[in-house]
Chains A and B, each alone.
Chain A
Amino acid sequence: MASILIQFAHPALQKSRVNSALLEAASGLDKVTVCDLYELYPNFLIDVELEQAKLSSHDIIIFQCPMYWYSVPALVKEWFELVLERGFAYGEGAHLLTGKKVMLAASFGGMEADYLGDPPNVIPLDQLISPIRQTMQFCKFNWLPPFVTFDADRADASRMTSLDAVYRYILVGLRDNAFGMDALNPLVPINHQLTLQVN
């Protein structure tokens, strides 16, 4: 069994529906650690050593957060800048992260069809999140296809129930190494590639 670290970030969880539900779904799973970054670092003073230790002691890292303006919340960006430092995450002698898997679990406000490259979003989804992917691959992470929730502003209860189940199914599958990773397309959301198997 692989260990999973969910780095959760939401600047206003009290207003959230999608992410709070997904967080709920992920909590309590065996070998899955959930960290609420905005709760840990409300004044952005990230404990770099602690965060690096957390990375070292887990096999799969998941960044779960809402996407605003096509990117991760500010604290996650800050986290990248401080924790993924030279000598630890990249550069000479840095191989602690090599081969660990990383996944972005992101919620978007628009429909799936809004992210295909047509105006107003002229850049397709896989390219929108490419800076994050590039960052992770630079640090020798194994990039998993992202877990994406579309139309997150209007998620109703029934859709949330099925979404929670899929998220939980994927987390457990990753933990137990149940998926044939080579068959997955890194550009297509993982929940779209694996939903069929749920049904």
Chain B
Amino acid sequence: MTFDPRKAGLTLAAPLLAIVFAVLVTSIVLAAAGDPVGTVWQTIFTQPRPRNVVNIINAASVLYLSALAAAVGFRMNLFNIGVDGQYRIAAFAAAYVAGEAWMPGKLNVLFSILVAVVVGALWAGIAGLLKVTRGVSEVISTIMLNSIATALVAYFLRQVAEKGSNNIHTTTIPASSQLAGFKLVGDAPNAIYTLSVLAVLAGIFYWLLLNRTVFGFNLRATGMSESAAVASGVSVKKMVVVSMLISGGVAGLIGMPLLFGDAYNYGLTFQTGLGFAGIAVALLGRNHPVGIALAALLFAFLNEQSNSLQLKAGVSNDIVNIMQGVIVLSVVIAYEVVRRYNNAAEQRRVAAQLAASRQAEEVPA
């Protein structure tokens, strides 16, 4: 691959400009509400303490998995909005299995992760099947399946939970299957989730699958031009089902770092909404494995740093949602502008180079 510094610079400029723009818009909102603009930015852009650094890395690894799950679909214009339901139902199933501890120690962890992947994949697969057999838009069906997942999990949770507490949850997984994590950040009392490794592995898997396999080629071809993919012999129906299975399988991983590194059971307070956050992160990261990683870190950083806004600046941390929203919106617009600019520039450059080479040919003659 040839590296084009101009193109790379433009690609990087878009998200940076979007962040600057988002800071501006957020500042205006803050000023309009009479909130202390300076204190807010001071709080957000202060250097995070070791404990917060660990939290950021942990949150980013979970967001990263979520964004990958969405990105697999996005690459072929398949909008899996159901990552949220998929990871919750998968995490519940894995938590139940892990709590039952049918296998010893670490084997229990591996088995539960497998269960999560299978459950997530099957749940997403329903939407894939509905699309290819009945033509149901995956956007609609996955949204519906989110609701159904919520109800199903709530129902089964009540069935299996220990009674007595207000915060019902599945049986806590045995200590031998709880993962202590990595104490990588100097003085931090908390540890990086052991299973944040899953994020790294999934990132490599995603990159390999899309860029190095024939399946990935077919997937990207379908995303770029479905009609051309069909003419080239790609079975789009098969691609839809398999992509949904992969997307759901990755979604199944989302809850695993939390489950084995922090919560140790699935209860009413198990973190929700990660699937939707992942969609935004995937858009911001342009469905690129490295881009998504940076986007996930940015979102995790903003979330973590905003946590103390109420205490330090007296401003609701919802302000960060505004900022994240503006970043995503402006970055997508910026990417589109850059894409068109690059297309036009490349066409001009190709024309110019060809004209130059033709002249060169004609000179000796």
Partners in one complex: no
